Structure formats: C-alpha cells, structure tokens
Copies of this chain bind each other. A is one copy, B any other.
Amino acid sequence: MFAEVLTVGDELLTGNTVDSNSAFIAKRLTERGHWVRRKTTVGDDVEEIKAVVREILARKPEVLVISGGLGPTHDDVTMLAVAEALGRKLVLCEPCLERIRQFYRELYAKGLIDDPELNEARKKMAYLPEGAEPLENTEGAAPGAYIEHNGVKIFVLPGMPREMKAMLEREVLPRLGSRKFVQRKLLAEITDESKLAPILNETLERFNVRIHSSPKGFGRYIGIILFGENEEEIEKAKAFMESKGIRFEEGW
C-alpha cells in the first residue's frame, strides 16, 4: 500500500521554482498513513505527462496525487494528458463551467480583470476526463478531478500552492479514510554509526514502526524519525532501543 506524487510544470525543471508542493502533499499523505514511494516531476508536455502517468499506474499505487498544469494558458495540459493516459475522453463539466463563469465575474466586479466573459482558454478548465468527479477549487478558477481507475485513486490538483493546499485538505484527504501515522523525532547519541544499524533492524522486526535516520553534527548524533500507528507503539520501540544502550534526546 503506497502512494505516488507527480508534479507538473516547466518552471520546476528549470529550477525557477522549488517544488514545495510535493513535500506538502507527501507530508499530509504520510500523516494519513499513506507512504509515498516515489515523487516525479515532468514539464508541461502532453506526451511526457501521459508517459509518466502510465508508468505510475503500472506500479499500482493505492493513491496518485498529481499537481500542476490546470490553468487557462496554452501550456496547461495536465487534464488532457491524464485523460489520454487513461484512455478517456475529456468531457465538459457543466457545473464546473458555471463555477468558472462565476469566478471571473467576481474578479471583474473587484476590478482585478478587464473582461468577465468566458473565452476558450477559460472554458478549457471545465473539461475533465470522462467519469471524473470534479473537486472544488475554493481559491481559484480551475476545478480538480478525482478518478478511480483500475483500483488507483487518482487526484488531479492545481499547481498554485494556495489552491492545491485547500483542495488537498477539503477534497482529497477526506476521501482517503481514517488511517493515521504519528511520528516522533529523536536525536541518538552515537560515536560509531555502524553499531546503530543492527539495533534499528531488530527494532523494525519487533515493532510495527518505520524508522528514518540521518546524520546530524558530523556523526556525533543520528537524527531518527519513528513512524507508527500510535504513540504507544512508538514509545515501546524507543524503550527497546534505549534498553540496547542508545541514548536519546527528544526532537531536532
């Protein structure tokens, strides 16, 4: 049971934008008990997006969250590419179109744009892959999409962080059930890193936890993150490691 994240945008591939979206999505998925196994980023290119979506589906994740490329400009092609990858048509979502019309009217009323009318570019955002459930965008024009496809829950979200975050919280997470992971950050004092590995491995065998580690302070400390389904399991795993001689400080 694992998840994948796909972010789409040329600006991510030229380094003009740091991809904080995928970290945010990964963090929230992890908290909800979904391990992210891989993150991928491709540009605003139908063939590239199509290819990577097919590759991801072949790995059969439980959840795939895609972010970016839903806007009105000519290089916003994610919905089209996802539809093609799934062998579905793009079809007009009438309530989405009405919502988009309303959105631009409100922007016009506030003096933020010069033209309130729907044009081809704005209309384009109302087309979703056939069978998709529209996801409401409370912060912008473009709706997202939720598609169940061969057992994979696919969510297509906007790339603007404010829009993506709101949609993730309101529309995605409630569809992922109630599983949760808690995590605890610990700092382990250690002088020989090679002594830690067997203890970590034994802990993994005995308890229902996952452990990530990374060196801190030139190897004097190892930063540990313990993930588990509840605090009790984490506490037991920590006590076991302490019984093996590891000294911990909380947090880092």
Residues of A within 8 A of B (CB): 9-20, 22-30, 35-44, 48, 52, 55, 71-75, 107, 112-115, 119-122, 183, 191-194, 196-197, 200-201, 212-215, 217-220, 222, 225, 227
Closest-by-CB residue of B relative to A108 is B218
Contacting pair B37 A196 (CB below 8 A)? no
Chain B neighbourhood of A27, CB < 8 A: 14-16
**One of B25, B37, B215, B220 near A43 (C-beta < 8 A):** B37
What's the least CB distance linking A220 to chain B, in Å? 6
Contacting pair B19 A22 (CB below 8 A)? yes
Contacting pair B37 A40 (CB below 8 A)? no
Contacting pair A40 B43 (CB below 8 A)? no
Contacting pair B73 A222 (CB below 8 A)? yes
A29 to B12, CA, bound (A): 13
A48 to B40, CA, bound (A): 13
Most buried by B among A29, A38, A217: A38
Chain B neighbourhood of A215, CB < 8 A: 71-73
A121 to B113, CA, bound (A): 60
Contacting pair A214 B11 (CB below 8 A)? yes
Given contacts A71-B215, A72-B193, A114-B220, contact A30 B14 (CB under 8 A): yes
Contacting pair A23 B30 (CB below 8 A)? no
Contacting pair B15 A18 (CB below 8 A)? no
Given contacts A23-B15, A48-B37, A220-B113, contact A119 B74 (CB under 8 A): no
**One of B35, B38, B115, B192 near A115 (C-beta < 8 A):** B192
What's the least CB distance linking A246 to chain B, in Å? 14
Chain B neighbourhood of A194, CB < 8 A: 72, 74, 119-121
Chain B neighbourhood of A11, CB < 8 A: 212, 214, 225
Contacting pair A15 B19 (CB below 8 A)? no
Most buried by B among A13, A20, A37, A219: A13
